[in-house]
Amino acid sequence: MRPVYVLSGPNLSRLGTREPDVYGAETLADLAALCREAGRGLGLSVDVRQTDDEAEMISWLHEAADARVPVVLNPAAFTHYSYALRDAIAQRTAPLIEVHISNPAAREEFRHNSVVAGVATGTIAGFGLRSYVLALQAVAELG
């Protein structure tokens, strides 16, 4: 099975309790189980990780680039301001799909800009946790 990293950024450990009207009632554990199950069906070995630490996220992206591992990335708040994360993503050597549970374009104006979108393979947003499944499907199809 082909490896893929599913990386989630700050505050996503709070899924299920953080703004359930925006992010739903499912937890990070539910998300991890969903991604692993979807991955198995797509021939992918899914490694799910979450961090609130920008440096740790960058290290994981470097690790993925060095090993040519595709990434499904929800950069969360880093989306809007982390040029360091953008620079790490620009070094990718395999597909990287940016995902968001909610639709940032339908939310507060500061969420409308993604500094990472320009270096991602593509972006999927607004489909709840299904955004991750759609991104895994894209990774599987991109090869």
Which one from 5, 23, 62, 132 is the annotated catalytic residue? 23
| Residue 14, token pair as written in the block | 């709070």
| Residues in the annotated binding site for substrate | 74, 80, 87, 101-102, 111
Where is the binding site, in residues?
74, 80, 87, 101-102, 111
Instruction: Give CA–CA dist 72/96, Å, rounded.
Output: 6
Catalytic choice (83, 100, 112, 132)? 100
Is 100 considered catalytic here?
yes
103 Cβ partners below 8 Å, 6+ apart? 125, 126
Catalytic residue flag (residue 62): no
For 8-63, give the DSSP string: E-TTGGGTTTS-HHHH-S--HHHHHHHHHHHHHHHTEEEEEEE-S-HHHHHHHHHH
The catalytic residue positions are: 23, 100
